Amino acid sequence: MAKPLLKIQRYFRRKPVRFFSLILLYLTAGSLVFLHAGFVGDNGPGARGGRDSLIASEMGSWASSDTRGLGLMSRVFKEKRRSGRRFGPPWMKKSRQEGLGMVGRGRDYTSNWNRALKGRNAKDLDDGRAKYIGCYIDDTQKRALRGVSFFDYKKMTVFRCQDNCAERGYMFAGLEFGAECYCGHKIQAPNASDSECNMECKGEKSNVCGGPNRLSIYRLELSQESARRYGSAIFKGCFHQPDNVTLALPFSAVIQNMSVDKCVDMCTEREKSLAVLAGDRCYCGFPTPLFSLHELEDEGMCLNRCQGEEFESCGNDKYFVVYQTQVQDNRCMDRHFLPTRAKQLVALASFPGAGNTWARHLIELATGFYTGSYYFDGSLYNKGFKGERDHWRSGRTMCIKTHESGRKEIEAFDSSILMIRNPYKALMAEFNRKYGGHIGFASQAHWRGKEWPEFVKNYAPWWASHTLDWLHYGRNVHVVHFEDLKRDLFTKLKGMVEFLGLKVSEDRLLCVEGQKDGNFKRSGLRKLEYDPYTPEMRSNINELIRTVDAALKKRNMSGVPEEYMPR
């Protein structure tokens, strides 16, 4: 035995490179085996935590007079045994195996919706999102569309231009020279022959993107949530003059031939987030308790044509027209880890697609402290959620994002903010995230294929059981409905901050209102042209809504908002 070993030793002395190569291959093989065991192994049974009895008790209180509902729920909530590993909510396990969901403590996001749109002629498309209206002359000295613009000489497409303009609230999107995108509220140029718009898009050869000094213009069908804009400024509305205007809006000047552009430019140069037009006087400032922009007036009170712009109103000495400039309000932008480690863990719990990331953005701006996560998402960390990298038990963050819903996971937290969203909206949002990323969209192929029915079948029951679990096992649960937060952000966010045990700064909350969307808001343009829910899907989801509504009321909480309830 000694002689063969001695021969091997002498061989590797003469060939050290081969020796080290062999060692490297051995270590690589061991690492692969270890990773495979970490992600695939441990499929043993886990504690079910009495969930079946919990759901049955919830249903018993509501569906005692409806045996059909009880039969449906016993069918819908039938649960598989769960693994004891903590790689995400139980309904993600199947997605992980299919390569669609969480991987380790991170998530895998794809961005493939645009591929399904390739090859479709945009001129022929009128699906409720955008309509081609013609070819127009464009003058470099006097643009036909005078909003924002951007260029991409390699990857410009019609849909990319439309989405960018829609995201900023413009009514029209125009493409020129195959690579240039222009946005605007009105077309200020004559039209031309369609034959003059003859250049292919740089990123989509099957579609036309204008021509030399010619714009292919589309009218965008925006959602009601899209902001109204004038160039780069966001229209906030008509407001009554504040009681102490000099204190509320400390800087002002009289402008000859007043226009929205002139006032916005002046306030931008002064680094103020509000441009306020009052006849020939322009005020600049920030939202404060003295001028909070909460009491909106009828726009007719501000009708007073600007001297330098015939299509716009400039308000008067009693009613002001307000625009938000591109200047960032820095009063709520500073964020830190907690100065001392928290002794209690607060969960920010929600079903996927219910606005958890948006709520984290709001909480961080309102409190000045980072939020953490039960998982790790590199894309969120890169977008500024620095608490994403901390372990969820570190105690350095204000609250912890989680989608978990098992008893053991819930009881690990001392209190929780429970976000609930209309399941019809939440399911679609999560489906878009799964197939298009945080601000992308699932493709038409995914919506019309087998992925969507399978997704609804697996995820819809978890929308209800997630809420029921947190209501049953959670300690000190503060319920926030996504729709209520959108409608009355100031009041609802103030309640969330108070629940977290912090003193509320009204100036900081007003600052949050001005930049509430963050980096994770989908544009209002790319909406489906049909209802993706079948009658059977709606019947099942409506039963789930009634169950959650009854569970909330049983605990002396307000039920789900009216728009959830089936009609």
Residues 504, 472 share a domain = yes
**Averaged pLDDT for residues 47-60:** 46
User: Residue 468: which pLDDT band, with cuts at 50, 70 and 90?
Assistant: very high
Q: The tokens 């093989």 sit on which residue? A: 29
Position 108 scores a pLDDT of 32
Residues 234, 213 share a domain = no
Position 434 scores a pLDDT of 86
Q: Is 339 helix (H, G, I), strand (E, B) or coil?
A: coil
Position 127 scores a pLDDT of 44
**Averaged pLDDT for residues 13-25:** 65
Residues 556, 537 share a domain = yes
CA–CA distance, 352 with 432 (Å, rounded to integer): 11
Position 82 scores a pLDDT of 36
CA–CA distance, 305 with 483 (Å, rounded to integer): 36
Q: Is the dihedral of CA 547, 552, 553, 555 positive or negative?
A: positive
Residues 511, 368 share a domain = yes
Q: Would you say residue 101 lies in a domain?
A: no
Residues 256, 171 share a domain = no
Cβ(469)–Cβ(411) below 8 Å: no
Q: Would you say residue 159 lies in a domain?
A: yes
Residues 244, 154 share a domain = no
CATH of the domain at 495: 3.40.50.300
Domain count, the chain: 3
Position 125 scores a pLDDT of 47
Calculated CA dihedral for residues 139, 143, 149, 150, nearest 10 degrees = 0
Q: H helices of 411-450, where? A: 423-436, 444-448
Q: Would you say residue 47 lies in a domain?
A: no
**Averaged pLDDT for residues 492-514:** 94
**Averaged pLDDT for residues 397-402:** 96
pLDDT tens per residue across span 327-378: 888 899 899 999 999 999 999 999 999 999 999 999 999 999 999 999 988 8
User: Residue 73: which pLDDT band, with cuts at 50, 70 and 90?
Assistant: very low
Position 526 scores a pLDDT of 56
Position 309 scores a pLDDT of 80
Q: Would you say residue 99 lies in a domain?
A: no
Amino acid at the residue 148:
V
Position 399 scores a pLDDT of 96
Position 119 scores a pLDDT of 35
Main-chain dihedrals φ then ψ at residue 103, nearest 5 degrees? -130, 115
- Average pLDDT of every residue of the chain: 80
Residues 297, 173 share a domain = no
User: Residue 396: which pLDDT band, with cuts at 50, 70 and 90?
Assistant: very high
Domain around 177: 130-220
Amino acid at the residue 419:
M
**Averaged pLDDT for residues 65-73:** 36
Position 379 scores a pLDDT of 82
CA–CA distance, 199 with 205 (Å, rounded to integer): 9
Residues 215, 269 share a domain = no
pLDDT tens per residue across span 196-255: 999 999 988 889 999 999 999 998 876 544 567 676 788 999 999 999 999 999 999 999
Q: Is the dihedral of CA 288, 522, 535, 351 positive or negative?
A: negative
pLDDT tens per residue across span 101-118: 333 333 332 233 233 333
User: Residue 487: which pLDDT band, with cuts at 50, 70 and 90?
Assistant: very high
User: Residue 312: which pLDDT band, with cuts at 50, 70 and 90?
Assistant: confident
Q: Is the pLDDT of residue 522 over 70?
A: no
Q: Is the pLDDT of residue 523 over 80?
A: no
Of 26-35, 89-98, 530-539, where does mean pLDDT reach its minimum? 89-98
